[in-house]
Amino acid sequence: MNYLAELYHSLVTRSRRRLVLIAALLLLAIVGIEYVYTRYILDKQLERLAENEITFKAVLIKSMLNSHEKTVHDYEWDVLRNLHNPDSVGNTAYWMVKNHPYLVGGGMCFKPNFYPSKGRLFEPYAEKDDDEVEVHQIAGEHHDYTTKDFYRRVIESDQPYWSDPYIDSIGDRSLICTYMIPLHQNGQVIGTFGLDVSMDWLSDTLNARHMYPSSFALLLTEGGKLIVDPADDHPKYHDVQQVVKLINDSTVCRDSSRTNRTVVMKFDSEHDGEKGYIFYANMRGQPHWQMVVVCYDKEAFGPLNLMTLISLFLLLGIMVALGFIMRHFMRNARRLHDASLEQERLGSELRVASGIQQSMLPQDLDIINKRGDLDVCGMLQPAREVGGDLYEFFVRDEKLFFCIGDVSGKGVPASLVMAVTQALFRAVAAHTSLPANIMRTINQTGCRNNDRSMFVTLFVGVLDLPTGRLRYCNAGHDAPVMIVDGKPQLLEVRSNLLLGIINDFDFEAQECQLPPGSTLLLYTDGVTEAMDANHLQYGRGRLLNTLENVGQMTATQLLQHVAQSVSDFVDGAEQSDDLTMVAVHYTPRQALATLEDSITLLNDVHQTPQLNAFVDQVAGQLQLDTSVLRQIKLAVEEAVVNAMQYAYPTGVTGEIQVTALADAESLRFVIADQGKAFDPTEALRADTTLSVEERPIGGLGILLVRELMDSINYERVGGKNVLTLKKLLTHKS
């Protein structure tokens, strides 16, 4: 049992652990999948965001640059129109610079010796200084534009050209760019015309509206030189050089200038080890600048990581909680399991107890009913498994001892008291034939230790079978019904007192004659107080009515008849109390006497030979065999000697009358004296198993009488002790 419990426990624990583990793995998988998928989406999102930023800013820059290109083209015709006047070019440049706020300068570089009058190099240039525009011819030995990149590139390629931004060496050292277009006259390139534009807006444009606070954007020249970088107070300023180097080293970036695709690179900051992403793309068309957007993992995926971390903590919490809940649940389940086991155990114990209680009821019904002069039946229907009602009957020494009782309360406590009371009745009645004595002894035993105040109503009856004399004693029980000549009537009973209240209460016995053919019905209040659905009681009147015209029913039929009547009355209402009944049908048979003889002796043992001669003579008439004769002779001698010795006080002469009565079935010796009341049937049976030393000398007489005869019966009638010894003549000894 212990082993099973352990196994059960370990199984529960193991399955609980497994369950929690499976749940944990499932949730972990969910968190994992969610993380990976979200990360994937965020990756795409980030790329798109970066691409958007790059595109947006590139478009902004391009549109600014386009407007400058348009400015140059707007003034191109004016230059060409006035080529005949060398100084008019300066004038045109003047207005161009004057009219456009971002321009810091503008002018024309003529091919060497275009105007012989102006020398080899001629560059009229309008320069803005605090909104004041002045025009100078700035070419000379210190400024040979033909050696400059912007001039040569335009002349050689015959294409417009944007210079990389550079720091103005002349003005206020701001960042500027130069845009130049070739000018033609008669299909011949005659020089370049263009402007210098301030690129201060470029930094503002580039550094405006980043994806994340730590993100930054860079603009690189086609050659990979940094044009615009974040302000040097930007938190990630230290990563700028690393990013520029990475891009310049990357073949992918170089190749992307052809494919125009955004390149994504990962990097770890050399400064603080932070993980970052570089998004890189070429600006399309002139100028071939490269745009870079940098952002950091912490910002792009920080929320996701935080969320995942929180999820994991939640998961851990859920697991712990689940574990606790499971433990609680399992413990409850186990408790429930244990409780149901306990209930089952109690149930089965109750069933066993019920069986024991039923088996305590009289089982020797057949032996009694085979006698011929009795038809007895008992019935006990407990309201629960075990009840507090009891009944008992048995025949001893030609007397029917019977009782019926009801213990206060119900269930197990009542059943225990019931068992004790019933056992007491059997034990006491084995040695006492007087109902009052039986009642007193049971009461005294019951009063002892009656701390729980369990009271018992009990009716005890002793029916002398040869005479039909009924002695009875009541302890608070309902009066039985006596049916004489088909007429039911309540037996006249004194209530006395319930058992278990007053230790030395003097119970008073009563006596009546039970006519042959009459019936006694004993019952408990389970019958009279049986209630129907309207709480109406069955009642004594209904019981008496039911017992009218019961005709020649046997005891069993009578009980079934009453039980059916009660059952019909309650009509399915729940049985609230034990239903108990006993029926005693008294049917003595008067056999025809074949012999009657008697002898009167004195209380002197020396007269035993006369007695023996009388018995010999009777036996002779009946032609009994020697062995049976010897048995009867011994029994009668013992009984008579007993009366001789004890009936009368020493020295007082008294008579003892012995009558032999025989019928077809039996031979009876009735021994009567007028001495003091003495019931030899109450004597304790001598213990025949004792050793020589322990063995008392006397006490054998009554033992022999019981052993040798088929029955003995004692009655105190009219101041006489009447002891009847019976030997069945059909009986083979």
Partner 1 sequence: MIQTEIQEIDGKLFATLEGELDTAAALEAEKTLEPLFHAEGRDVVIECEKLEYIASSGLRILLSILKAAKASGSQVTLRNMNDDIKSVFTMTGLINLFHVE
Q: Does residue 287 have a cis bond before it (omega within 30 degrees)?
A: yes
- Least separation in angstroms between residue 704's CB and partner 1 is 6
Q: Which is nearer to partner 1, 349 or 687 (CB)?
A: 687
Is the CA virtual torsion 640, 645, 648, 653 positive or negative? positive
Q: Which is nearer to partner 1, 314 or 605 (CB)?
A: 605
- Least separation in angstroms between residue 607's CB and partner 1 is 7
686 binds partner 1 (CB under 8 A): yes
Closest-CA residue to 490 (of 528, 536, 526, 530): 528
Separation between Cα atoms, residue 653 and residue 673, nearest integer Å = 11
Separation between Cα atoms, residue 560 and residue 625, nearest integer Å = 48
- Tell me the per-residue interface mask from 101 to 130 with partner 1, x by CB under 8 A, - otherwise: ------------------------------
Pairing of strands 103-110, 188-198: antiparallel
Separation between Cα atoms, residue 691 and residue 684, nearest integer Å = 18
Surface-to-core class of residue 335, CB atoms within 10 Å of its CB (0-12 exposed, 13-18 middle, 19+ buried): exposed
Structure tokens that stand for 494 in this block: 């004194």
Inter-residue contact 421 to 500 (CB < 8 Å): no
- Least separation in angstroms between residue 625's CB and partner 1 is 11
223 binds partner 1 (CB under 8 A): no
Report the amino acid identity of residue 79: V
Give, to the nearest 10 degrees, the angle between helix 626-646 and helix 608-622. 150
- Least separation in angstroms between residue 603's CB and partner 1 is 12
Separation between Cα atoms, residue 494 and residue 110, nearest integer Å = 157
701 binds partner 1 (CB under 8 A): yes
Q: Which is nearer to partner 1, 285 or 620 (CB)?
A: 620
- Say which residues have a Cβ less than 8 Å from residue 575's Cβ, sequence separation at least 6: 381, 383, 526, 530
Q: Which is nearer to partner 1, 186 or 689 (CB)?
A: 689
Structure tokens that stand for 549 in this block: 């015209």
Size of the site for partner 1 (CB under 8 A): 32
Give the number of other CB atoms < 10 A from CB of residue 403: 29
Binding-site member from 319, 602, 704, 729 for partner 1 (CB under 8 A): 704
- Least separation in angstroms between residue 367's CB and partner 1 is 22
Q: Which is nearer to partner 1, 283 or 628 (CB)?
A: 628
Stretch that binds partner 1, among 248-256, 395-403, 674-682, 684-692 (CB under 8 A): 684-692
Give phi and psi for 103, each to the nearest 5: -75, 135
Q: Which is nearer to partner 1, 304 or 686 (CB)?
A: 686
- Least separation in angstroms between residue 630's CB and partner 1 is 5
Binding-site member from 231, 592, 652, 692 for partner 1 (CB under 8 A): 692
Separation between Cα atoms, residue 230 and residue 240, nearest integer Å = 8
Separation between Cα atoms, residue 730 and residue 719, nearest integer Å = 34
Binding-site member from 688, 717, 728, 731 for partner 1 (CB under 8 A): 688
683 binds partner 1 (CB under 8 A): no
Stretch that binds partner 1, among 60-68, 464-472, 517-525, 680-688 (CB under 8 A): 680-688
Binding-site member from 541, 698, 718, 719 for partner 1 (CB under 8 A): 698
- Least separation in angstroms between residue 700's CB and partner 1 is 4
* Residues 266-325 interacting with partner 1 (rule: CB under 8 A): none
Stretch that binds partner 1, among 69-77, 412-420, 652-660, 702-710 (CB under 8 A): 702-710
Q: Can you give the C-alpha Rg of the chain in angstroms? A: 66
- Least separation in angstroms between residue 688's CB and partner 1 is 3
Q: Which is nearer to partner 1, 231 or 697 (CB)?
A: 697
- Least separation in angstroms between residue 638's CB and partner 1 is 6
Q: Which is nearer to partner 1, 581 or 709 (CB)?
A: 709
- Least separation in angstroms between residue 612's CB and partner 1 is 6
- Say which residues have a Cβ less than 8 Å from residue 431's Cβ, sequence separation at least 6: 682, 683, 684
- Tell me the β-bridge partners of 659: 598, 670
- Least separation in angstroms between residue 493's CB and partner 1 is 41
Binding-site member from 697, 718, 719, 730 for partner 1 (CB under 8 A): 697
Structure tokens that stand for 722 in this block: 């009447």
Q: Which is nearer to partner 1, 532 or 655 (CB)?
A: 655
Structure tokens that stand for 230 in this block: 């974040």
What are the residue ranges of helices labelled H in 430-550? Answer: 435-447, 525-528, 539-546
Q: Which residue has the tokens 């050793």?
A: 691
Report helix, strand or coil for 187: coil
Stretch that binds partner 1, among 166-174, 182-190, 595-603, 681-689 (CB under 8 A): 681-689
Q: Which is nearer to partner 1, 541 or 698 (CB)?
A: 698
The helices-and-strands tally (H runs, E runs) of the chain is 17, 27
Inter-residue contact 221 to 282 (CB < 8 Å): no
- Say which residues have a Cβ less than 8 Å from residue 184's Cβ, sequence separation at least 6: 190
Report helix, strand or coil for 349: helix
Stretch that binds partner 1, among 289-297, 351-359, 566-574, 686-694 (CB under 8 A): 686-694
Q: Which is nearer to partner 1, 178 or 642 (CB)?
A: 642
Binding-site member from 364, 695, 717, 728 for partner 1 (CB under 8 A): 695
- Least separation in angstroms between residue 576's CB and partner 1 is 53
Query: What are the b/e assignments for 18-45, b being 16+ CB within 10 Å?
Result: eebeebbeebeeebeeebeebeeeeeee
Structure tokens that stand for 708 in this block: 């040798």
- Least separation in angstroms between residue 381's CB and partner 1 is 44
Q: Which is nearer to partner 1, 422 or 711 (CB)?
A: 711
Report helix, strand or coil for 30: helix
Q: Which is nearer to partner 1, 592 or 692 (CB)?
A: 692
* Residues 602-641 interacting with partner 1 (rule: CB under 8 A): 605-609, 612, 626-627, 630-631, 633-634, 637-638, 641
732 binds partner 1 (CB under 8 A): no
Separation between Cα atoms, residue 492 and residue 476, nearest integer Å = 13
Closest-CA residue to 679 (of 696, 660, 702): 702
- Least separation in angstroms between residue 669's CB and partner 1 is 15
- Least separation in angstroms between residue 698's CB and partner 1 is 7
Separation between Cα atoms, residue 396 and residue 426, nearest integer Å = 11
Stretch that binds partner 1, among 52-60, 89-97, 693-701, 724-732 (CB under 8 A): 693-701
- Least separation in angstroms between residue 693's CB and partner 1 is 7
Is the CA virtual torsion 596, 600, 603, 607 positive or negative? negative
Stretch that binds partner 1, among 411-419, 579-587, 601-609, 646-654 (CB under 8 A): 601-609
Report helix, strand or coil for 464: strand
**Which residues are near partner 1 by CB under 8 A?**
605-609, 612, 626-627, 630-631, 633-634, 637-638, 641, 686-693, 695, 697-698, 700-701, 703-704, 707-708
